[in-house]
Amino acid sequence: MAFEILGVVEGFYGKPWPMERREEIIKFIGEQGYNLYIYAPKDDELHRFRWREPYPEEFMRAFKRLVYLGEESGVAVSVAISPGLSVSYSSENDLSAIVNKYLGFAELGVGTFGLFYDDIPPALFDETDKKRFDTLAEAQAHFANRVIEKLRMEVKHLNFIVCPTEYHKNPNSSYLKELARKLDPDAKIMWTGPQVCSKAIPVSDAMAFEESTGRKALYWDNYPVNDSYMIPELHIGPYTGRSPELSDHSAGIVLNPMIQPEASKVALGCAAKFFSDPWNYIPEKAWKETIQELFGELSDAFEHFALYNMQSPLHPAESEKPTEVMESFKAAYINGDLEKALTILQNEGQTMLSGGEKLLDNLDDKLIREISPWLKDYITWGKLLLEAVEILESRDVLFDSTAENKKKAERLQRTLEEVETQLKAQTPQNTLMSCSAYRDFVSELCTRTKGVFYLHNKDWQH
């Protein structure tokens, strides 16, 4: 591996993973060459809001198994605590509370610990802290250093990671410079890059961080995470936009996965190919290989489904796939080749319908539970394309009001009503699958076809 640290940080907002999913992810990332897993789910109250309280015995027993699995898999299992919403940086009681909590995990075999100051107000709020410290950076460095000092007396080969309050955009901020200057030199500092969820991380960003802080950034890479307003997105596209030179100018990269652990394997597996050989990495090739490795005989169907779920911070625009289909259809239609135009829609709709149903019937149940909303929307859009073909094939009867064609027109009208009902049901959909091009097309097709009923031939009005 070209990178010193390669990891996964379970650091998203939302329901934390079940422990058995963590076990599976640790085994998986070990097979992929990762060497670190950080437990830090934001909505675990004992991680963030009730951080002073110890974890219950049942949780600790389960975590001990994680540590054991990590040792077997070559993955250091670590734990982070986020005390910043309520901590007093000058309090001996708070210092003892967090150290004792870390030591409870050290007894399980944990040797890497994280102290996360992210997503908190960027100012001191405790009155004692305000009197003792001039800046937030000074207070945070002081507290972290005291924690490290205490842990070093009990933990052999201690590794310590700090996530700063300012963790992206400007590595030359006075806060970050002071924190780095005053923090224990062996502690790693996390950094997400130019943005919270960075579309690209150029080597210039890493070099600017190193020049400003005197140490290499440990990148907290917010991909494929889909929390907050990204929840409707399924981030299963290629891992892109990371400079291969980060291998020389960073302490490593840890990826923040999705709320869906099984679906996260697509991005984690793809990223592993970048980490193993960043200079020769080809995103689309690595992505296709990962899908093949994960899904075998289902890989073609899953890859096509994934093409409709590319939108993410790394791929901000909607997927190109539906746009390409519609452009091909329109080009054939405008050139008067109706048969070719209908074949394009027919093939795409059938691929979506049959492929989606095949995935629903054959994918692992755990993955189905995670992605079924997207799969069901995918299947529905396939059906709508097929029904659009049916409308296009039969709507010429509207211009010939013979008795026979009038009956066909009545059937067409029923089809239109069914399509519009389905279209309305899809309008408030909960997923952000890239099908707006289909929505616009089917909606316009229905409107234009209905217009003939209500404007061209009044005898067919209801």
SS3 430: coil
Burial (Cβ within 10 Å: 0-12, 13-18, ≥19) of residue 104: middle
- Can you give the pLDDT at residue 403? 61
What pLDDT, in 10s, does the model give residues 373-398? 999 999 999 999 999 999 999 877 66
Determine contact, residues 65/113, Cβ cutoff 8 Å. no
Domain count, the chain: 2
Widest distance between CA atoms in the chain: 94
Crossing angle of helices 403-426 and 436-451, rounded to 10°: 150
Q: Are residues 229 and 333 in the same domain?
A: no
* Domain stops at, among 267, 299, 331: 299
Domain assignment present for residue 220? The answer is yes
Domain assignment present for residue 285? The answer is yes
Give every CB contact of residue 404 below 8 A, 6+ residues apart in sequence: none
Domain assignment present for residue 60? The answer is yes
Q: Where are the beta strands (DSSP E) in 177-314?
A: 188-191, 217-221, 250-255
Give every CB contact of residue 186 below 8 A, 6+ residues apart in sequence: 148, 160
Burial (Cβ within 10 Å: 0-12, 13-18, ≥19) of residue 421: exposed
* Domain stops at, among 299, 328, 349: 299
What residues are annotated to the active site? 119
Q: Are residues 273 and 384 in the same domain?
A: no
Determine contact, residues 220/11, Cβ cutoff 8 Å. yes
Neighbour tally for 142: CB within 10 Å: 18
Q: Are residues 39 and 152 in the same domain?
A: yes
Q: Are residues 324 and 286 in the same domain?
A: no
Domain assignment present for residue 421? The answer is yes
**Parts of the chain with a pLDDT under 50:** 460-462
* Domain stops at, among 252, 270, 299: 299
Burial 404-417 (b: 16+ CB within 10 A, else e): ebeebbeebbebbe
| Closest-CA residue to 226 (of 431, 446, 437, 38) | 431
Cα–Cα distance measured from residue 438 to residue 444, given in angstroms and rounded to the nearest whole number? 10
- Can you give the pLDDT at residue 425? 85
Cα–Cα distance measured from residue 315 to residue 241, given in angstroms and rounded to the nearest whole number? 10
Cα–Cα distance measured from residue 129 to residue 139, given in angstroms and rounded to the nearest whole number? 7
Q: Are residues 217 and 70 in the same domain?
A: yes
| Closest-CA residue to 349 (of 388, 297, 393) | 388
Domain assignment present for residue 144? The answer is yes
Structure tokens at 365: 């149940």
In 43-173, where does DSSP find H-type helix? Answer: 57-73, 92-106, 127-132, 136-152
Q: Are residues 396 and 252 in the same domain?
A: no
Determine contact, residues 206/250, Cβ cutoff 8 Å. yes
Neighbour tally for 428: CB within 10 Å: 6
Q: In angstroms, what CA-CA distances link 39 with 18, 45, 192, 253, 344?
A: 12, 13, 17, 15, 47
Domain assignment present for residue 312? The answer is no
Q: Are residues 227 and 338 in the same domain?
A: no
Domain assignment present for residue 450? The answer is yes
Structure tokens at 191: 């950094």
CATH assignment of the domain containing 201: 3.20.20.80
Q: Are residues 33 and 166 in the same domain?
A: yes
What pLDDT, in 10s, does the model give residues 84-135? 999 999 999 999 999 999 999 999 999 999 999 999 999 999 999 999 999 9
Q: Are residues 260 and 290 in the same domain?
A: yes
Structure tokens at 354: 């049959």
In 314-452, where does DSSP find H-type helix? Answer: 320-334, 338-362, 365-394, 403-426, 436-451
Determine contact, residues 293/253, Cβ cutoff 8 Å. no
Q: Are residues 381 and 416 in the same domain?
A: yes
CA geometry: angle 257, 263, 267, nearest 5 deg: 55
Half-sphere exposure of 428 (CA within 13 A, CB side): 3
Q: Are residues 272 and 185 in the same domain?
A: yes
Cα–Cα distance measured from residue 105 to residue 342, given in angstroms and rounded to the nearest whole number? 62
Domain that holds residue 389: 320-460
Domain assignment present for residue 314? The answer is no
Give every CB contact of residue 143 below 8 A, 6+ residues apart in sequence: 87, 89, 94, 95, 115
336 torsion bin: left (phi>0), alpha (psi -120 to 50), beta (else): left
Q: Are residues 242 and 335 in the same domain?
A: no
| Closest-CA residue to 106 (of 39, 56, 155) | 155
- Can you give the pLDDT at residue 408? 77
> Strands 76-81 and 36-39: what pairing?
parallel
Amino acid letter for position 52:
R
| Closest-CA residue to 160 (of 107, 81, 45) | 81
Give every CB contact of residue 6 below 8 A, 6+ residues apart in sequence: 33, 34, 35, 36, 252, 253, 254, 272, 275
- Can you give the pLDDT at residue 415? 87
